[in-house]
């Protein structure tokens, strides 16, 4: 099974006993939307709701961190997901949160996981069937064991920040990256990790919400000054849209990518970490705190 499947493919596979469809929509408090309520109103037939806001480490001081193995296994089993299932995740979110669910499932050991290209918006736009309510799934048997090589922690990011041998790519919008907009979480300083590039996650999508592919997808990274030949760590506000960049790189065949799970929620709340503000400068003679290029200089 490919990592990205079409609406036509999914429509033909619905009802297969080994197929599990998961709505992983996620919204920030400021979005004014409730993902669970929206799922109850309309979802792909047979889908279950994966609550990303709840499947976290509730004992960690940083919000949204990956949960322990036993909690993730319990939540997947409650959704009826088993070890041998084919899992299709989708979302109806401007944050394209299905990518986070895909990364989490893969990181905890699922091997047959794909994202529905275009998500629920494309499915509905094509006039395909939907249903409402909260269907109770049968329990599955999911074995979770986190692959810690899939994620980066603050120490790892500190070690590579500004290194010419690595790429650190931030999925937030340009204004938040530059520190011009306030952070949505209290106690978090605006700005970005010094040396990081800015690729707002929305730039990886076509107008119909489908993923860019091939040369168009590669161009989005290149226009942000990202060298796809280097090992990469993706980051964002709290680890949701960082997964979008990671999945985009995956579509291009790139495997040496880690996700910084703490992201800016952790980095920006730590008074000891260096922080940069201002827009990213690019070009062969770029200078400044966020410059990129062979002659770039500057400090946070």
Q: What is the pLDDT along the chain (300 residues), one digit of tens a residue?
A: 899 999 999 999 999 999 999 999 999 988 999 999 999 999 999 999 999 999 999 999 999 999 999 999 999 999 999 999 999 999 999 999 999 999 999 999 999 999 999 999 999 999 999 999 987 778 899 999 999 999 999 999 999 999 999 999 999 999 999 999 989 888 999 999 999 999 999 999 999 999 999 999 999 999 999 999 999 999 999 999 999 999 999 999 999 999 999 999 999 999 999 999 998 754 333 333 443 332 232 222
Q: How far apart are CA 129 and CA 131, in angstroms?
A: 7
pLDDT given at position 134: 85
Give the distance from CA 140 to its chain's centroid: 25
CB 94 within 8 A of CB 58: no
Give the β-pairing of 19-23 and 86-90: parallel
- 3-class DSSP state for residue 257? strand
Q: Tell me which of 89, 101, 236, 249 is the catalytic residue.
A: 236
Quote the tokens at residue 129: 């069937």
Find residue 276's DSSP bridge partners. 192
113-152 burial: b if 16+ Cβ within 10 Å, else e: bbbbbbbbebbbeeebeeeeeeeebeebebebebeeebbb
pLDDT given at position 278: 94
Q: How far apart are CA 217 and CA 220, in angstroms?
A: 5
CB 241 within 8 A of CB 275: no
Q: How far apart are CA 143 and CA 69, in angstroms?
A: 8
Q: Which domains does the chain have, with CATH numbers?
A: 4-146 (3.40.250.10), 150-267 (3.40.250.10)
192 has catalytic annotation: no
The secondary structure element, H or E, covering residue 13 is helix 7-13
Other CB atoms within 10 A of residue 189 CB: 16
| Beta strand segments in the chain, E | 4-5, 19-23, 48-49, 86-90, 113-116, 151-152, 167-170, 197-198, 232-235, 257-260
208, with CB counted inside 10 A (0-12, 13-18, 19+), is: exposed
Q: Which residues contact 44 (CB under 8 A, 6 or more apart)?
A: 10, 14, 21, 23, 90, 116, 120, 123, 128, 129, 130, 131
């Amino acid at each position: 099974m490919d990592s990205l499947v079409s609406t036509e493919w999914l429509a033909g596979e619905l009802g297969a006993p080994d197929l599990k469809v998961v709505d992983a929509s996620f919204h920030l408090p400021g979005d004014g939307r409730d993902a669970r309520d929206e799922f109850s109103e309309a979802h792909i037939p047979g889908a279950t709701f994966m609550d990303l806001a709840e499947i976290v480490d509730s004992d960690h001081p940083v919000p949204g961190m990956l949960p322990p193995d036993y909690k993730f296994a319990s939540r997947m089993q409650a959704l009826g997901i088993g070890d041998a299932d084919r899992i299709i995740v989708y979302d109806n979110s401007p944050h394209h949160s299905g990518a986070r669910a895909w990364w989490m499932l893969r990181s905890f050991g699922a091997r047959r996981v794909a994202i529905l290209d275009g998500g629920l918006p494309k499915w509905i736009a094509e006039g395909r069937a939907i249903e409402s309510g909260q269907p109770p799934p049968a329990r599955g048997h999911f074995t979770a064991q986190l692959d810690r090589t899939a994620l980066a922690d603050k120490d790892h990011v500190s070690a590579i920040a500004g290194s010419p041998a690595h790429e650190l790519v931030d999925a937030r919008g340009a204004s938040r990256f530059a520190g011009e907009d306030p952070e949505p979480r209290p106690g978090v300083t605006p700005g970005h990790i010094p040396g990081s590039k800015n690729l707002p996650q929305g730039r990886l999508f076509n107008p119909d919400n489908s993923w860019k592919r091939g040369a168009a997808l590669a161009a989005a990274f290149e226009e942000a000054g990202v060298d796809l030949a280097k090992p990469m760590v993706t980051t964002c506000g709290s680890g949701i849209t960082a997964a979008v960049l990671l999945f985009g790189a995956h579509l291009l065949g790139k495997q040496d990518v880690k996700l910084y799970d703490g992201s800016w929620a952790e980095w920006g709340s730590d008074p000891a970490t260096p922080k940069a503000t201002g827009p990213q400068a690019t070009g062969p003679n770029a200078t400044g705190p966020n410059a990129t290029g062979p002659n770039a200089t500057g400090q946070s």
